[in-house]
Amino acid sequence: METTHPTLEELEQFIRGSLDDEAAEPIERHLEKDLCSRCLFASRKLMAEAEPDLRDNIRRFTRWDELPASERRDGLGAAMRQAMRRGVVIRAERALGPELLAELERRSPAARRTVIRTAQRYQLFGFVESLCHASREAVFRDVARALELAGLAVEAADSLDPRIYVAKFTTDMQALAHAYLGNARRVASDLFGAESAFQQALLLREQGTHGSPVYAEIGSLLGSLRIDQGRYLEARNILQEALALYRSFGFEREQGKILVQLGNLEGYAGTPERAVEILEEAVAQLQIAGAARLVAYAHHNLTDWMVDADQALEALARYRKAEALYDEHFQEPALGMRRRWLEGRIYAALGDLDLAVGAFEEVRGAAAERELSYEAAMVSLELAIVHLDRGEVDRVQDLAEEMTPIFRSHELHRHALAAVYLFRHAARSQTLTTGFAREILRYLRRARNNPYLRFEPSARWS
């Protein structure tokens, strides 16, 4: 069936608010359901041209002392109609965002920033959102791609036409783009660069719409940076504020994600029992939201912290309960490796050391094959602890010698490398204890994205 497009005159009447709701409804449906990019971009041009009318209507409404009540009401009614019609166009932009992203990525990387700066086609509110969310999805699989996408989001946000978008909403998008750039830098272990991006995001956020979902989203991202920086009290306050905002909006999925962050925070801060309590709440919240993949990840984190909280039997029960979720959502090799790693931790905590060794050796081989040196170092420490528990000191020494490829890797930052050197020295000299190995392991877990966090062994190991 051939699509019927509104005429330019009808679009202009729609944007200026002169069509009644019945006449406007087919145009709304055409823009939002048909996703007609031709009419969408024509509408955006008309919005820019009609911007003076919108400002005038708002001025009429706000000039209380100068105009009679009837004119103030007329100004409000006209402004509301125009705002609602602009909202239709912006919602259509959001739906068009993924298509525009795919189109942009067919261009060479060198050309993408220039195209965004010069082509109005990409200077869309919804396109900025698509770039931000694509950066979020890519950040743990391909951090270089996440960095590029976030940088493009900053470029697109800075190019938004002030005649089309409300100034505070534009500022929100600029703040969000800088926050996602900071998030990508955080995962890339560039904490100075991340801090710089977040400071810019916070400055912009203060000029935007306070108490909005974007305000909470920036808080969630900033909370992750503060956790990596070891600033746990500050992170807790930021995340609790974001959680309260999401609760006020009724955003169930986002509440669950914040609870996962808060649970992990407590684990890194040395209170795994509290981490377990919060992650139980996170799982329940995500189940209500119907976010099955996030439920699987929350289950995994919960089970992991249960091991640290000396709740090995409960961890095993939780793991068994979630096996169907693992089968569905942990099919990627990296996730399968983490699943097997968790199995090893549970076996070790239960005293099934042969099963633990089998799981850890499998993970170590997978990490070596994929050149994941950080993971290889951590699982080697897990193995060393098991061998020490079995009194196999010679095997611990062999393990230390087998770690040579890790020291040749550029993946471990210098403080992490120093901690692993201490492990190897203690293993070679047969002075390694399970307590010292566990302390290094806890440090590596916290220091993954923080190259400035030093390993400071407890006095009893010094």
Q: DSSP characters for 411-450?
A: SS-HHHHHHHHHHHHHHHTT---HHHHHHHHHHHHHHTT-
The whole-number pLDDT of residue 90 equals: 78
Buried b (16+ CB within 10 A) or exposed e, 296-316: bbbbbbbbbbbbbbebbeebb
User: For residue 36, is pLDDT > 90?
Assistant: no
Q: Which has the minimum average pLDDT: 76-80, 293-297, 349-353?
A: 76-80
Last residue of a domain, one of 104, 134, 167: 104
- Answer whether residue 452 is part of any domain: yes
Quote the number of domains for the chain: 2
Characterize 18-36 residue by residue with b for buried, 16 or more Cβ atoms within 10 angstroms of its Cβ, and e for exposed: ebeeeebeebbebbbeeeb
Residues whose CB is less than 8 angstroms from the CB of residue 297 and which lie 6 or more positions away in sequence, other chains included: 260, 329
Which pLDDT score is estimated for 424?
A: 92
Q: In this structure, is residue 226 part of a structural domain?
A: no
User: Does residue 146 register a pLDDT over 60?
Assistant: yes
- What CA–CA distance (Å, rounded) separates 56 from 78? 10
Predicted confidence band of residue 215 (pLDDT cuts 50, 70, 90): very high
* pLDDT at position 203 over 80: yes
- Can you give the residue range of the structural domain that contains 449? 352-462
Mean pLDDT over residues 329-336, rounded? 92
Average pLDDT over residues 328-344: 95
Rounded to whole angstroms, the Cα distance separating 122 from 153 reads 10
User: Mean pLDDT lowest for which of 35-49, 167-181, 193-207?
Assistant: 35-49
- In percent, the amount of the chain with pLDDT more than 70 equals 93
For residue 246, CA distances in Å to 135, 172, 202, 205, 250 come to 21, 16, 18, 17, 6
Identify whether the C-beta of residue 195 lies closer than 8 Å to the C-beta of residue 182: yes
Fill in the DSSP letter of residue 35.
-
Give the residue among 50, 61, 59 at the shortest CA–CA distance from 15. Answer: 50
Q: pLDDT averaged over the chain? A: 89
Residues 57-66: contacts with CB under 8 Å, at least 24 apart: 57/82
- Whether 132 maps to a domain, the answer reads no
Confidence class for position 1, pLDDT limits 50, 70, 90: very low
Q: At residue 77, does pLDDT exceed 70?
A: no
> Lowest-confidence range among 29-43, 165-179, 299-313, 328-342?
29-43
pLDDT digits 0-9 by tens, 102-111: 999 999 998 9
Answer yes or no: is 234 within a domain.
no
- Mean pLDDT confidence for 344-363: 96
pLDDT band, residue 54 (cuts 50/70/90): low
The span from the CA of 196 to the CA of 215, in Å, is 18
Asked whether residue 207 is assigned to any structural domain, the reply reads no
Is the residue at 59 inside a domain? yes
- Looking at residue 209, its pLDDT comes to 84
Q: pLDDT category, 71, cuts 50, 70, 90?
A: low
Tokens of 126: 């919804």
- Pinpoint the alpha helices (H) of 159-251: 167-187, 191-207, 213-228, 232-249
What pLDDT score was predicted for residue 162? 84
Of the candidates 47, 71, 104, which is a domain's last residue?
Answer: 104
Helices 69-104 & 21-32 angle (0-180, nearest 10): 20
Binning pLDDT at 50, 70 and 90, where does residue 95 land? confident
Give the number of other CB atoms < 10 A from CB of residue 4: 8
pLDDT for res 59: 59
In a domain, 117, yes or no: no
Query: Higher pLDDT residue, 175 or 52?
Result: 175
Torsion of CA 100, 105, 109, 113, to 10 degrees: 10
Q: Judge contact between 426 and 397, C-beta under 8 A.
A: no
How far apart are the C-alpha atoms of 221 and 254, rounded to whole Å? 12
At residue 64, the pLDDT reads 47
CA distances in angstroms from 329 to 89, 291, 299, 422, listed in the order given = 36, 11, 11, 37
Dihedral, 229, 232, 237, 240 alpha carbons, nearest 10: 100
405 assigned to some structural domain: yes
**Is pLDDT above 80 for 200?**
yes
Q: Which of 104, 138, 158 is the last residue of a domain?
A: 104
Q: What is the DSSP letter of 165?
A: S
Question: How large is the greatest C-alpha to C-alpha distance in the chain, in angstroms?
Answer: 93
The mean per-residue pLDDT over the stretch 130-144 comes to 93
Please compute the mean of the pLDDT values over residues 422-448 and round it to a whole number: 92
Whether the predicted pLDDT of 264 surpasses 80: yes
